[in-house]
Amino acid sequence: MTFSQVVMEVMRQLEGAYALIFKSPHYPNELIACKRGSTLILGVNEVSDQNSAKSFQNVKSLTTNGSPREFFFSSDLCAIVEHTKNYLAIEDNEIIHIKDGSVSILKFDKEKEKPASVQRALSVLEMEVEQIKKGSYDHFMQKEIHEQPHSLTTTMRGRLKDSGVVLGGLKEHLKTLRRSRRVIFIGCGTSYNAALAARPFVEELTGIPVTMEVASDLLDRQGPIYREETAVFVSQSGETADTLLALEYALEKGALCVGVTNTVGSTLSRKTHCGIHINAGCEIGVASTKAYTSQIVVMAMIALAIGSDQLSTQPRRESIITGLSSLPSTTNWINNLPCQ
């Protein structure tokens, strides 16, 4: 049996969520990874010389071109950025087979004896190494609290204008959003609370009823979701397990699914019909700070975009736009806080 056949026999017996990497002395120079439900990222880097210096070149092909390569597996993009910017987000039931520097991807199906070959291209990570360093701060949470004025600026940059809000990620679906019978905010933990804080803006500016759902509770109840409704999924990482399961449920029901996430290339951003990246920068601290404030701002901008066709709310929209524009400068007092 080949190494991939051995792993497939293991996968046939497994239930639930997992992310696994296999290495065996019986199959030297080979490595296999697979996942279902959990997050797994593959980073690929070409080694520029014998000292393993990182080239950070854009590795286009997954097959080897004769140059030695390094491979990195992680559950989070932040962990690989200091090693490489070229990554592949592994999908459920995919088998990543690395042999002699080349990567092949197979799609596993329990019902079929042989997996199908898949062609995938690497993505380029839009993140700087400095974002994952603490600098002069004692810990990442402290650093991210002080970064809030900057993160709010990047969240609104190019989107918030005097004439209104421009959200390219929603442009093609604005008409559907405006015709929605109900907007359902779905999230967990801090993301759920960010949506709760933004709910008054959405109801006031759009005139659409808004309900809140904790993702796990929605699944337990099998709560009703209809085709004429919009489900907005909020997640900093875009990989929250309960939120992704709720997304699968909403997709089955035929609702328009909108994602609000901080992570480009995350499962949430790939599986929703449309959405907005909050662009708050990498958040490593467990207690969410800058992502929380940026999520609220993004959802306020979504409300402004949906309600932009209503003349009755124009004065209110203009006052909110003015307030959002001045928000980074009014939060600059955070930078005067002591670092201790």
Instruction: Please report the DSSP string for 74-143 in residue order.
Output: ESSGGGTTTT-SEEEEPPTTEEEEEETTEEEEEE--TT-SSPEEE----EE----GGGG--TTSSSHHHH
Structure confidence at residue 64 (pLDDT): 63
Cα distance between residue 81 and residue 60, in whole Å: 17
- Residue 163: the pLDDT is 77
Q: How far is CA 244 from CA 73, 187, 216, 239, 280, in A?
A: 21, 9, 10, 7, 21
| DSSP tag of 297 | H
- pLDDT, tens digit, 9 for 90 and up, residues 138-160: 999 999 999 999 999 999 999 99
Residue 84's φ and ψ, nearest 5 degrees, are -165, 160
Q: Note the pLDDT of residue 60.
A: 53
Q: What residue ranges define each of the domains in the chain, with the CATH number in brackets?
A: 3-127 (3.60.20.10), 134-336 (3.40.50.10490)
CB 90 within 8 A of CB 118: no
Q: What is the pLDDT of residue 266?
A: 87
pLDDT (0 to 100) of residue 51: 45
> What are the tens digits of pLDDT across the range 218-249?
999 999 999 999 999 999 999 898 999 999 99
Helix axes 189-206, 290-306, angle to 10 degrees: 20
pLDDT tens per residue across span 269-303: 999 999 999 999 888 888 899 999 999 999 999 99
**DSSP classification of residue 333:** G
CA atoms of 30 and 214, how far apart (whole Å) = 42
The pLDDT score that the predictor gives to residue 120 is: 84
- Pairing type for strands 86-89 and 41-46 reads antiparallel
* pTM, to two decimals: 0.84
Question: How would DSSP label each residue in 165-198?
Answer: E--GGGGGGHHHHHT-S-EEEEE-HHHHHHHHHH
Q: Are strands 256-261 and 230-235 parallel, antiparallel or unpaired?
A: parallel
Measured over the CA atoms of residue 35, residue 95, residue 272 and residue 160, the dihedral's sign is: positive
pLDDT of residue 55: 44
Give the model's pLDDT for residue 27. Answer: 94
Torsion of CA 298, 247, 210, 180, to 10 degrees: 100
DSSP structure string for 233-279: EEESSS--HHHHHHHHHHHHHT-EEEEEES-TT-HHHHHSSEEEE--
SS3 state of residue 162: coil
* pLDDT mean values, one per 10 residues, the chain (340 residues): 91 91 93 91 78 46 70 89 89 91 88 83 80 85 92 94 89 95 97 96 94 97 96 94 95 97 89 96 90 96 93 91 90 61
Taking each continuous run of H as one helix and of E as one strand, the counts in the chain are 10, 16
The two tokens of residue 53 are 């210096």
Strands 102-107 and 116-118, how do they pair? antiparallel
Q: Cβ(314)–Cβ(157) under 8 Å?
A: no
